[in-house]
Structure 1
């Protein structure tokens, strides 16, 4: 079983427990393979809209599409380091992060990339922006870096932990949540001046976190870990699902995204795809065309998403029945 943490290392519901069930014919979902032209393990993905997107991964791989994934092309990153995450602020300006403190930035939509110097050699796993000027990166050894000038400069923030931080979600310029190893959940309410450790009552490694709005959020992790907050990240409740078509308790859940307060998606090991259309009360297990682990997920709009993972795998997800 290949977890996100294992891959990285080797290469360098509201009131009760929800249910998981087989796909529902009332909400048509189409999942299709796309040809990436790469065998790299893809760990990060970001779509600016339903046409323009990027995927990053092992060996410094950066892939770009301008037609919704019908064609992907490889662009030079200028590094052979493992790249773990990608974020674009708009159609032109973006960043990738990865092993050994690797940061690259692009000002031309990902056609060319230049070095960004940061004050860490720790692996970086996640990046997000709350506004055009304010953004954060997270990584190993509790690393948190912040920019207040649109990504030109990045400064350290004290996280109060040495645990690896794998993802960060921001609801505005002041409020953010970072998650990571050993059940670590950190929140800030003052733009990162102070980070507070929240009690998850779990030793699971959380790989990702996403918010549907300012208060409702979800974290996913190894061994099927699925946790929910309804108060902006202060308190978390275990919503780990029972066994469905495959046993979720034996399957790592690696990425989560919500397109609105009702519609959410999770991908994970062995090609697993889960969907909710009722704010996480129930989760539907969709039929997946792949058995390789899916480690990246992006939904630029409610009806169109993409996932990527091992062996250059990229799939498109079309949910015609969603809002």
Structure 2
């Protein structure tokens, strides 16, 4: 997919959503924080109830260490012309962030001092590669996903916490479909649980899910029931252990209609079924919260599932792109116009 077409998908069909994002619902609401920024934050990495990172447009990276009461702008100055779409954080000092684009616009930056300084640890030199998202299996081992190069998705890997990266051979990767690609919408097109990893695709029908059981060396692929198309498919995955997973998506150009836009698996992605009650609109981010509870967000609202993604209920109409929850039970969401919020109930 060309850089022009891919980047245009990321900015088309913007919808201004009224209100503050607070609506009545099943005891849930988003509490917006004052970020002092107008960037669009598609990269989100909360660590706990106090510490969170967000990365977005115009090379912007924000960090809070007080639960969102204050945010510091800590992005690398040399990335001001780039678009961050994913950030993975380990604590208040260590984070790894990914910028997107064809050729050298796809880069990885790492910090070990809370963003006071950054090191560029990877710059793409393959003209047809376009990196979309990252995941870390643990503090040392991480993967990044590129759209197909010579007919196969490309995996970049680190074994030292993002300080160095190596391109994996593609002999363990199934062939991509013509026109198939991943969506750089919320940093969650590639996710992991232990040694297991998954990534989701669109651009062509059907949308598919690739799965690895060996840390990203070899992959299998399964068709999903989520419709695919030029701007449609699975935008986000979330797995709770190696078995139970959720996929959400739709079509970015028809935000208010997404039939069959959510699916679930109980066997690690080998089989997927459409949710019995889907959000019904395009959703770009999904995350597990507590137990069988999950959250999904998109430009037109947020939904909660209390039963592992089988049925969804709207609880908010504000615009968000990404959602993430932490082991201590705090959940955060981020999106356009500097919007970053914490979940309240």
Match of 2:284 in 1: 254
SS state at 1:117 partner: strand
1:133 deviates by 2.1
Match of 1:200 in 2: 224
1:120 deviates by 4.4
Q: 1:184 to 1:120 in 2, by over 3 A?
A: farther
Query: Aligned pair 1:147/2:163, yes or no?
Result: no
Q: Which runs of 4+ in 1 moved over 6 A?
A: none
Question: Which structure 2 residues correspond to residues 88-237 of structure 1 after superposition, within 5 A?
Answer: 88-99=89-100, 100-120=105-125, 122-141=129-148, 142-157=153-168, 158=170, 159=173, 160-161=175-176, 163-166=180-183, 167-173=189-195, 175-181=196-202, 182=204, 183-201=207-225, 202-203=227-228, 204-223=232-251, 224=258, 225-237=261-273
Higher helix share: 1
Q: Counterparts of 2:313 and 2:275 in 1: how far apart (Å)? A: 14
1:149 deviates by 2.9
SS state at 2:132 partner: strand
Gaps of 5+ in 2: 1-5, 13-23, 184-188, 252-257
Q: Counterparts of 1:7 and 1:63 in 2: how far apart (Å)? A: 25
Query: Aligned pair 1:273/2:294, yes or no?
Result: no
Query: Is the CA contact (8 Å cut-off) linking 2:286 and 2:295 kept in structure 1?
Result: yes
1:126 deviates by 1.4
RMSD: 2.2
SS state at 2:190 partner: strand
1:282 deviates by 2.9
TM-score, structure 1 length as denominator? 0.82
How many residue pairs are counted as aligned between the two chains?
291
Structure 1 window deviating more from structure 2 (200-209 vs 212-221): it is 200-209
TM-score, structure 2 length as denominator? 0.78
Gaps of 5+ in 1: 11-21, 243-247
Query: Is the CA contact (8 Å cut-off) linking 1:303 and 1:318 kept in structure 2?
Result: no
Q: Counterparts of 1:104 and 1:240 in 2: how far apart (Å)? A: 41
Q: Counterparts of 2:73 and 2:263 in 1: how far apart (Å)? A: 36
Query: Aligned pair 1:29/2:53, yes or no?
Result: no
1:30 deviates by 3.1
Query: Is the CA contact (8 Å cut-off) linking 1:260 and 1:302 kept in structure 2?
Result: no
Question: Which structure 2 residues correspond to residues 2-21 of structure 1 after superposition, within 5 A?
Answer: 6=8, 8=10
